[in-house]
Structure 1
Amino acid sequence: MKKCPECGNPSYDGAPVCGNCGYQFPKPKVVAPKKEDIFQQKPKSEKKTDDNSILTKKNKLVIGIILILTLIVICGIVFMGSNHNGNGSHSNPIIQSTSDLAEYKDGDFSFKYPNDWKKVNGSDAEHSSAVFFQNPENVTIEYYNITTNANSLKDITQQRITHAQEGGDYVELVETVTIDGRNSSNMLLENADGDYTRYVSMFSDGKLYVFKITGASENSLTSEDIESAISSSDIA
């Protein structure tokens, strides 16, 4: 119910005019319903965390880290290996295998010779303890040592020259060379029978160490394997 503001007569709420005095009631204001803002963001609902999904993510992370570390280690090994090979000559030196060499040792004297040298039977009337080798080119390498009363290697060389000339041999070369840090004698003879003989002599403390090399040509007496064996001579 509502009352007329003019006469106070009661009227029902929807009456347009007062039944007593005819007063026109004002039209009621229409209030528009409140519209929902379509731009208003709804609060996000909290998702429940699945323990299994957390464990799966952790496992994937751990596996990924392991793979990365493994890759780093492999790359490091490859790099260090290549670096070592590339700089091997600036660090530790490379030791050559001596499996293709044999060593002859007689008291305080020794030398190394190729394994393809054959130890052969030979004879030297003046030096019964001599040993004989033969290389693939059929050159005979004789080694012996003797005790001598000579005062120097020069005296020994001169005696050998005299002996060779008396036997009809031609002296082609006489020179001083260094072997094992010592002055040594190198002599080349053309024998009366057409062959060649080379004497390489070392002298120390009254003892003479001799290589006597015999072959069909000069070049065969100075081959690389023979020079290497002579150069390896060592007097302890």
Structure 2
Amino acid sequence: MKKCPECGNPSYDGAPVCGNCGYKFPPQRPKNLKTTSIFDETQKRRPKTLKRRTEPSTIEIIRENKLIIGIIVLITIIAICGIVITGTSNQSTSTTSASGAELATYDEYGFSFQYPTTWNQTDGLDEYHETAIFFNAENNTVVEYYNITSDSTSLRDINQERISVAMNDGDYVDTVRTITLDGRNASDIILENADGDYTRYVSLFTDGELFVYKITGDSINSVNSTTINDVIATSHIG
């Protein structure tokens, strides 16, 4: 309720004039209603800042683990060096014979055998086989080993050619026999040379590869000794 300022007559709040004296009330100002908008609230809200998970870079990982990586690289290098050294070395003392003699191993080009460490590898010359290796065995006996690629079709053909050459040189064929090496047939030929010395050829032929022991000495017993036979028996392909 409101009162008329002229006559004091009470009137309701929304009356435009006084009902007693006719006084015109001034228009009322509308109240400012505070409005709330969901959009305003949305604007007022600060967006949450999401922390982006940062993954470590490759460089950071390497820096943090450089000690471990360095150890791995070092072990790898040592392993590779060991393989290279083992592959290039054709001798290694690792076993003993039945008689207790210490043995070394020759292993090259897919062929191996064991021989006493008392055999000294020496320089020799074979004009037909440049890659041949030589050992000074007991009783002034020389053991030569070589392998070659052969166009022959069989070991029999190889032996016939060898015997023909020997006879043409005046050598006497003392022994021709077949033996077994590494599960394969091999030939064993002993020649008495024209100068009185002896030469023994033990040959194994497989897949176009010829593996040969050539033993020279001053007697048939020296080229056919138990020690030499034991060495030949250790022959292995593969």
TM interval, short-chain normalised: 0.5 to 0.7
Helix, strand or coil at the partner of 2:127: coil
Instruction: Give the drift of 1:192.
Output: 0.8
**CA distance in structure 1 between the partners assigned to 2:230 and 2:140 by the alignment:** 17
Helix, strand or coil at the partner of 1:124: coil
Where do 1:1-236 residues align within 5 Å?
A: 97=96, 100-236=102-238
**CA distance in structure 1 between the partners assigned to 2:164 and 2:112 by the alignment:** 29
Q: 1:168 to 1:97 in 2, by over 3 A?
A: closer
Q: 1:148 to 1:97 in 2, by over 3 A?
A: closer
Instruction: Give the drift of 1:222.
Output: 1.2
Instruction: Name structure 2 gaps, 5 residues minimum.
Output: 1-94
Q: Deviations over 1:46-81 (max 9, x none)?
A: xxxxxxxxxxxxxxxxxxxxxxxxxxxxxxxxxxxx
Q: Deviations over 1:30-51 (max 9, x none)?
A: xxxxxxxxxxxxxxxxxxxxxx
Count of aligned pairs between the two proteins: 141
**CA distance in structure 1 between the partners assigned to 2:208 and 2:96 by the alignment:** 35
Structure 2 counterpart of 1:163, one-letter code = V
**CA distance in structure 2 between the partners assigned to 1:148 and 1:161 by the alignment:** 17
Instruction: Give the drift of 1:136.
Output: 2.6
Q: Deviations over 1:188-213 (max 9, x none)?
A: 00001110000000001001000000
**CA distance in structure 1 between the partners assigned to 2:96 and 2:190 by the alignment:** 33
Instruction: Give the drift of 1:97.
Output: 4.2
**CA distance in structure 1 between the partners assigned to 2:134 and 2:233 by the alignment:** 18
**CA distance in structure 2 between the partners assigned to 1:185 and 1:97 by the alignment:** 27
Instruction: Give the drift of 1:234.
Output: 0.2
**CA distance in structure 2 between the partners assigned to 1:163 and 1:136 by the alignment:** 28
Tell me which residue corresponds to 2:62.
Answer: none
Among all aligned residue pairs of Structure 1 and Structure 2, give the percentage whose two residues are the same amino acid: 51
Structure 1 counterpart of 2:159, one-letter code = T
Q: Deviations over 1:8-43 (max 9, x none)?
A: xxxxxxxxxxxxxxxxxxxxxxxxxxxxxxxxxxxx
**CA distance in structure 1 between the partners assigned to 2:152 and 2:96 by the alignment:** 40
**CA distance in structure 2 between the partners assigned to 1:212 and 1:140 by the alignment:** 8
Tell me which residue corresponds to 1:64.
Answer: none
Tell me which residue corresponds to 2:31.
Answer: none
Helix, strand or coil at the partner of 1:177: strand
- CA RMSD in angstroms, aligned pairs only: 1.2
Q: Normalising to structure 1: TM-score of the pair?
A: 0.58
Q: Normalising to structure 2: TM-score of the pair?
A: 0.58
Q: Deviations over 1:127-154 (max 9, x none)?
A: 1110000113110000000100100000
Helix, strand or coil at the partner of 2:216: strand
Q: 1:233 to 1:192 in 2, by over 3 A?
A: same
Structure 2 counterpart of 1:160, one-letter code = R
Q: 1:136 to 1:97 in 2, by over 3 A?
A: closer
Helix, strand or coil at the partner of 2:200: strand
**CA distance in structure 1 between the partners assigned to 2:227 and 2:175 by the alignment:** 20
Which structure has the greater CA radius of gyration? 1
Structure 2 counterpart of 1:151, one-letter code = T
